[in-house]
Chains A and B, each alone.
Chain A
């Protein structure tokens, strides 16, 4: 008798499609790999099946985001070798518009490509990337094509619409030239909010459509690829602002200390003593609330050998709360700290959990302050989040050691492996630090590269911003507010609320104030 798959509790006999080994419910998900290995050894399935599953399991959204982000960056780097050469010069750069014909122009002002072709080419590239990922994973490319197309159309469409003059224009002279009397003044990043709202409306009011679209709306893929491109932008901006990189990095180090040593300990203590959660629940909950939402909760669950459902339930709660924070916190920060943009940006990196929502909150906060060219606000939020992610592997290794030493029966044979230090580290961080570190080092070593690096930034921006918009759309689509009312979740929700409003927000604000009070978003003479 074939047992049920232990990692996911699904009954494999009901779900395995032939000998492919695909989980019918979630085609990109391969639970129970060792289960299949044992089936192979017993001759039930062939070696090719197991090999194919191992290979496709490697192509996670994290890995694909790394590949996509680095691919875009590497092609853009051609400018450094040959000034004037812009591999992505044809890509679409969205402008503020009233007349739709003004909305799109190529990144390279000297490009002869028409705006329509530029836009079609940019969307075509993104669609091709999604199809290539499907092909590599063995997913049905033709079947997913309309879904990918609709997600791209909706996300990019919201991004385009967000640049309309009534939403985006901040400059009074531009208002006059557009013939407008008033604008919301949100800059082009109003497109992100529109994408988020569109996703929320679809996700909560049109569940059938939302369920169909969600398979193509991968927040992780979009946001992590975008974060790698933020590394390019961060390098370009800090090159012209000596010392800013050091400020940001020191704040990133402080964020690691806060999140792992203070927040985690306090949330764990509260969950264990006040709410009487057992260790199996308290540890993933502490990680999800204090470190980084989904990734940290999952990694912690694995490290302490909890039942798989525990971190999944915690993660779903964190996703919903992160979206609520994204909607409320940037405006609250702007109201509370009208003259401290960098404090607000750093605060978002600590207060908002999940990579997607935190980076999104940083972008919205930057739009609200509108500090101008060369702003480091989004870079600050992203860098803080990235630094926190960097240590997930180390923290989970520590937890695994503690759990094995203190809480695991002595006769248990499983051991903590040192490779777990690295296996849990999100791959996209490699791309971010390569992009950021490589360009920064190049710019500092050869100062004449400063201008070509700005051109690299402009090219990658043509994809960074739409990827953000797509991530916002995916976040909205994935957020089901009804989950908060699921029976049994009340205690978890209460822990989250008390932890967040009781100390996480205020400790984060205090330490952001300590490090960034008085620091301008754009250094005088910089940008």
Chain B
């Protein structure tokens, strides 16, 4: 992504600009006909691993807070 360094500095959302003003009508039209990409193994690992880790950490935190 050229000229991009960080969050809002990359492409800050200009305040006061309506969606209709932005040159993204092609992207909006694309929403009605998106290319299909099956989930890959890496994505399944990312999603599954996040959920398992998240549940484990939450249980740990809850035990620590409620137990103390």
Binding site for B on A (CB under 8 A): 5-10, 25-26, 28-29, 31-35, 57, 60-62, 210-211, 213-215, 217-220, 247, 250-251, 253-254, 257-258, 260-262, 264-266, 268-269, 272-273, 276-279, 281, 294-295, 298-299, 301-302, 305, 307-313, 315-316, 392, 402, 405-407, 420, 423-424, 426, 474, 478, 480, 483, 486-492, 511, 514-515
Q: Which chain B residues (1-22) contact chain A, with CB distance < 8 Å?
A: 1-20, 22
Binding site for A on B (CB under 8 A): 1-20, 22-24, 27-32, 34-37, 39-40, 42-43, 46-48, 50-51, 53-55, 57-58, 61-62, 64-66
Contact B27 A279, beta carbon cutoff 8 Å: no
Known contacts A262-B51, A515-B65: A312-B22 contact under CB 8 Å = yes
- Chain B residues lying within 8 Å of A257, measured Cβ to Cβ, are 54, 57-58, 61
Contact A6 B27, beta carbon cutoff 8 Å: no
The residue in A210, A214, A251 that gathers the most chain B C-beta atoms within 10 A of its C-beta is A214
Contact A32 B28, beta carbon cutoff 8 Å: no
Contact B28 A265, beta carbon cutoff 8 Å: no
Contact B62 A515, beta carbon cutoff 8 Å: yes
Contact A262 B42, beta carbon cutoff 8 Å: no
Contact B3 A424, beta carbon cutoff 8 Å: no
Contact B23 A9, beta carbon cutoff 8 Å: yes
Known contacts A7-B10, A57-B9, A423-B6: A486-B17 contact under CB 8 Å = no
Q: How far apart are the CA atoms of A315 and B5 in the complex, in Å?
A: 19
Contact B24 A7, beta carbon cutoff 8 Å: no
- Contact with A302, one of B1, B23, B46 (Cβ below 8 angstroms): B1
The residue in B36, B48, B58 that gathers the most chain A C-beta atoms within 10 A of its C-beta is B58
Q: Could you write out 20 A-B pairs with CB less than 8 Å apart?
A: A25-B17, A29-B14, A34-B2, A60-B12, A211-B16, A215-B15, A254-B62, A261-B51, A261-B53, A262-B51, A268-B46, A276-B34, A281-B31, A299-B6, A301-B11, A302-B6, A308-B1, A478-B15, A511-B62, A515-B65
Name the distance in Å between A261's Cβ and chain B's nearest Cβ: 3
Contact A313 B51, beta carbon cutoff 8 Å: no
Name the distance in Å between B42's Cβ and chain A's nearest Cβ: 4
Q: How far apart are the CA atoms of A143 and B14 in the complex, in Å?
A: 19
- Chain A residues lying within 8 Å of B11, measured Cβ to Cβ, are 7-8, 31, 298, 301-302, 308, 311-312
Name the distance in Å between A39's Cβ and chain B's nearest Cβ: 12
- Contact with A298, one of B8, B34, B37 (Cβ below 8 angstroms): B8
Name the distance in Å between A120's Cβ and chain B's nearest Cβ: 27
Closest to A213 in B: B16
- Chain B residues lying within 8 Å of A29, measured Cβ to Cβ, are 12, 14
Name the distance in Å between A194's Cβ and chain B's nearest Cβ: 21
- Chain B residues lying within 8 Å of A312, measured Cβ to Cβ, are 11, 13, 22, 24
Closest to A257 in B: B57
Contact B28 A489, beta carbon cutoff 8 Å: yes
Name the distance in Å between B36's Cβ and chain A's nearest Cβ: 6
Contact A254 B2, beta carbon cutoff 8 Å: no
- Contact with B1, one of A7, A219, A309, A426 (Cβ below 8 angstroms): A7
Q: How far apart are the CA atoms of A253 and B64 in the complex, in Å?
A: 12
- Chain B residues lying within 8 Å of A269, measured Cβ to Cβ, are 47
Name the distance in Å between B34's Cβ and chain A's nearest Cβ: 6
- Chain A residues lying within 8 Å of B34, measured Cβ to Cβ, are 276-278, 281
Contact B51 A35, beta carbon cutoff 8 Å: no
Contact B61 A315, beta carbon cutoff 8 Å: no
Name the distance in Å between B19's Cβ and chain A's nearest Cβ: 5
